[in-house]
């Protein structure tokens, strides 16, 4: 019977990163993956393919809307959607192969197949049983059904994000159920490719949990780009007939019932932990009421020797959160001090403009009764942004009124997903807005807008 110090179950960003770190720390490590390829949801049907399609469709948008303004004339490119999907698949392939290479380089054994845990210290894959001093469950998540509605996903007409990444052609009309990150990213892709896109959302604001000023600005910009929003609407059912779908919803304000037709309906109301087949119930592994594996702050479950990380446990379902937990759990197993600062986990939406957020929102600070200052700067005052038709949006910095310490940052604008990390590092070091304001920022860069927002927390921005 093969013996390991650690067996990681699942090779998504949580699992593969954890396995590599375990091996780097001198632990004999294997990683079990049921999919044909490594990389989990993120590389195969999540972050990476969606960003490839966002990139390609954004290039089309630039060609259609901005090239002529810069004197680049000629016919706008036509869309060969099959080729676009082939490009996306190539990007996936390069990335998943990259993980294979890293496993070999770090001497992580890849065990192919679906794993179960017959007892603590043992992992079963097919007929093979492996011994492991420690087991890390990184089994990830799957799309959740639309709550309270009669919806059958066929991944052709009624799809999850997985089907939305593989449509045979650009639909004429796409209805997206749920105005969260995944729905808005995929909605943007198809709107840019020419689909009529209607987003149906139960709440009164898009991207739940985000700073409400950002929510409003973001919805306005997406509406300008052609996305239609039906807010405060509870989807009742989706029916399919003759290759088309009809979505029935009730408006919460007056309970009135409405229908809308679609060629494709994307169900994007969230994801839930995937723990099927692991045998957790028989093992007595404690779960949360929301079906997540319960862990302590060292990612230990209540069963000795079994850890859990990533989408399968509590917290934001984000690849970088899973990765950080993966590294930290490996360090704990190796006798080191693994740590994740859950107060500084950025969230990014990769639409155009991008949206990025870290720390507290203004609404949260108000609710907690914290005295704060706001420093805001519009990208209209940023020379670089204006030069590239990206003046929409702003940087909003929230700092403690007394100490000037950064409490949160919310950016909607060009490269927001990269700009936010200056603030993440600042927050990790307990920086004040003045620390950012006194740091020389290269000109002309988008990052000057972050500095200007920091200046606005003090004596004032220069270009406002």
- Encoded one letter per residue, x for contact with ligand FAD by CB under 6 A and - for no contact, window 257-286 reads -----------------x--xx--------
Q: Which residue has the tokens 């709440």?
A: 203
Q: Which of 34, 226, 305, 381 binds ligand FAD (CB under 6 A)?
A: 34
Q: Which of 6, 8, 19, 50 binds ligand FAD (CB under 6 A)?
A: 50
Which span sits near ligand FAD by CB under 6 A: 29-37, 85-93, 402-410, 432-440? 29-37
Nearer to ligand FAD, 113 or 383 (CB): 113
Which span sits near ligand FAD by CB under 6 A: 45-53, 297-305, 327-335, 419-427? 45-53
Q: Which of 199, 319, 456, 457 binds ligand FAD (CB under 6 A)?
A: 319
Helices (H), 268-352: 280-283, 319-333
Min dist CB 362 to ligand FAD, Å, is 23
Whether 443 is catalytic: yes
Task: For residue 268, give the 3-state DSSP assignment.
Answer: coil
- Encoded one letter per residue, x for contact with ligand FAD by CB under 6 A and - for no contact, window 222-261 reads ----------------------------------------
Q: Which two tokens stand for residue 268?
A: 């994007």
Query: Is residue 138 a contact point for ligand FAD (CB under 6 A)?
Result: yes
Q: Which residues does residue 413 pair with via DSSP β-bridges, in sequence order?
A: 354
Q: Which residues does residue 238 pair with via DSSP β-bridges, in sequence order?
A: 247
Catalytic residue among 258, 339, 421, 443: 443
Query: Is residue 126 a contact point for ligand FAD (CB under 6 A)?
Result: no
What CA–CA distance (Å, rounded) separates 262 from 425?
44
Q: Which of 40, 183, 353, 408 binds ligand FAD (CB under 6 A)?
A: 40
What is the arrangement of strands in the sheet containing 354-359, beginning at the earlier edge strand?
347-349, 354-359, 406-413, 394-400, 372-378
Q: Restricting to residues 334-373, which ones interact with ligand FAD according to CB under 6 A? A: 350
Q: Which residues does residue 229 pair with via DSSP β-bridges, in sequence order?
A: 199
Residue 319 marked ligand-binding: yes
Report the 10 Å Cβ neighbour count for 257: 9
Q: Which of 4, 7, 8, 12 binds ligand FAD (CB under 6 A)?
A: 12
Residue 244 marked ligand-binding: no
Q: Which of 4, 6, 7, 15 binds ligand FAD (CB under 6 A)?
A: 15
Q: Which of 161, 215, 219, 260 binds ligand FAD (CB under 6 A)?
A: 161
CA pseudo-torsion sign 161, 163, 166, 170: negative
> By C-alpha distance, which of 3, 1, 5 is closest to 334?
5
Query: Is residue 416 a contact point for ligand FAD (CB under 6 A)?
Result: no
Which span sits near ligand FAD by CB under 6 A: 39-47, 255-263, 378-386, 424-432? 39-47
Spatial CB neighbours of 6, under 8 Å, sequence gap ≥ 6: 19, 22, 27, 28, 29, 30, 132, 133, 134, 135, 136, 330, 333
Query: Is residue 114 a contact point for ligand FAD (CB under 6 A)?
Result: yes
Which span sits near ligand FAD by CB under 6 A: 10-18, 61-69, 84-92, 391-399? 10-18
Q: Which of 96, 141, 432, 447 binds ligand FAD (CB under 6 A)?
A: 141
Q: DSSP E strands: which ranges in 28-181?
A: 29-33, 109-112, 115-119, 122-125, 128-137, 141-143, 158-159, 173-177
Q: Restricting to residues 168-197, which ones interact with ligand FAD according to CB under 6 A? A: 182
Query: Is residue 115 a contact point for ligand FAD (CB under 6 A)?
Result: yes
Which span sits near ligand FAD by CB under 6 A: 75-83, 132-140, 243-251, 291-299? 132-140
CA 126 to chain centre: 32
Residue 339 marked ligand-binding: no
Q: HSE (CB half, 13 Å, CA atoms) of 321?
A: 22
Task: For residue 185, give the 3-state DSSP assignment.
Answer: helix
b vs e for 219-242, b when ≥16 Cβ sit within 10 Å of the residue's Cβ?
bebbeebebebbbbbbbbebeeee
- Encoded one letter per residue, x for contact with ligand FAD by CB under 6 A and - for no contact, window 279-318 reads -------------------------------xxx----xx
Helix (H) or strand (E) holding 241: strand 233-241
Q: HSE (CB half, 13 Å, CA atoms) of 320?
A: 9
Min dist CB 13 to ligand FAD, Å, is 5
Query: Is residue 46 a contact point for ligand FAD (CB under 6 A)?
Result: yes
Task: For residue 356, give the 3-state DSSP assignment.
Answer: strand
Residue 183 marked ligand-binding: yes
Residue 112 has φ and ψ, to the nearest 5°, of: -90, 130
Residues near ligand FAD (CB under 6 A), total:
37
DSSP secondary structure letters along 328-346: HHHHHHTTS-----TTS--
Residues designated catalytic: 443
**Annotated binding site: which residue ranges?**
51, 178-185, 201, 270, 311, 317-320
Which residues lie near ligand FAD (CB under 6 A)?
A: 9-15, 32-35, 40-42, 46-47, 50, 114-115, 138-141, 161, 182, 274, 277-278, 310-312, 317-320, 322, 350
Indicate the annotated binding residues for NAD(+).
178-185, 201, 270
Residues annotated within a binding site for FAD: 51, 311, 317-320
């Amino acid at each position: 019977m093969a013996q390991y110090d650690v067996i990681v179950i699942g090779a998504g960003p949580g699992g593969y990163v954890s396995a590599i770190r375990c091996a780097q720390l001198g632990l004999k490590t294997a990683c079990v993956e049921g999919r044909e390829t490594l990389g989990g949801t993120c590389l195969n049907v999540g972050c990476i393919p969606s960003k490839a399609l966002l990139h390609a469709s954004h290039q089309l948008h630039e060609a259609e809307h901005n090239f002529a303004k810069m004197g680049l004339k000629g016919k706008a490119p036509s869309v060969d959607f099959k080729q676009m999907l082939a490009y996306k698949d190539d990007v996936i392939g390069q990335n998943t192969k990259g993980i294979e290479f890293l496993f070999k380089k770090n001497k992580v054994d890849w065990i192919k197949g679906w794993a179960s845990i017959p007892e603590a210290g043992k992992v079963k894959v097919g007929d093979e049983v492996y011994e492991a001093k420690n087991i890390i469950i990184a089994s990830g998540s799957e799309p959740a059904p639309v709550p309270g509605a009669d919806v059958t996903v066929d991944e052709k007409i009624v799809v999850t994000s997985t089907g939305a990444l593989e449509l045979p052609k650009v639909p004429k009309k796409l209805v997206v159920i749920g105005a969260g990150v995944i729905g808005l990213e995929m909605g943007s892709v198809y709107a840019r490719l020419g689909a009529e896109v209607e987003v149906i959302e139960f709440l009164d604001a898009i991207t739940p949990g985000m700073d409400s000023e950002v929510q409003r600005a973001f919805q306005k910009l997406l509406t300008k780009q052609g996305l239609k929003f039906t807010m405060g609407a509870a989807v009742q059912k989706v029916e399919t007939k003759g290759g088309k779908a009809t979505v029935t919803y009730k408006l919460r304000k007056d309970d009135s019932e409405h229908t809308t037709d679609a060629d494709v309906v994307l169900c994007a109301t969230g994801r839930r932990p995937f723990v099927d087949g692991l045998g957790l119930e028989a093992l007595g592994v404690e779960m949360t009421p929301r079906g997540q594996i319960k862990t302590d702050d060292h990612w230990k479950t209540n069963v000795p020797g079994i850890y859990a990380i990533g989408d399968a446990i509590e917290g934001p379902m984000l690849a970088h959160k899973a990765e950080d937990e993966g590294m930290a759990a490996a360090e704990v197993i190796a006798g080191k001090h693994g740590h994740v600062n859950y107060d500084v986990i950025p969230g990014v939406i990769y639409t155009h403009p991008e949206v990025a957020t870290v720390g507290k929102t203004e609404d949260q600070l108000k609710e907690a009764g914290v005295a704060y200052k706001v420093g805001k700067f519009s990208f209209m005052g940023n020379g670089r942004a204006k030069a590239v038709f990206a003046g929409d949006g702003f940087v909003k910095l929230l700092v403690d009124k007394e100490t000037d310490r950064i409490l949160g940052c919310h950016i909607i604008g060009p490269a927001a997903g990269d700009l936010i990390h200056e603030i993440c590092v600042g927050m990790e070091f307990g920086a004040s807005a003045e620390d950012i304001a006194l740091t020389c920022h290269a000109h002309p860069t988008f990052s000057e807008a972050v500095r200007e927002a920091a200046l606005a927390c003090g004596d004032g921005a220069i270009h406002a």
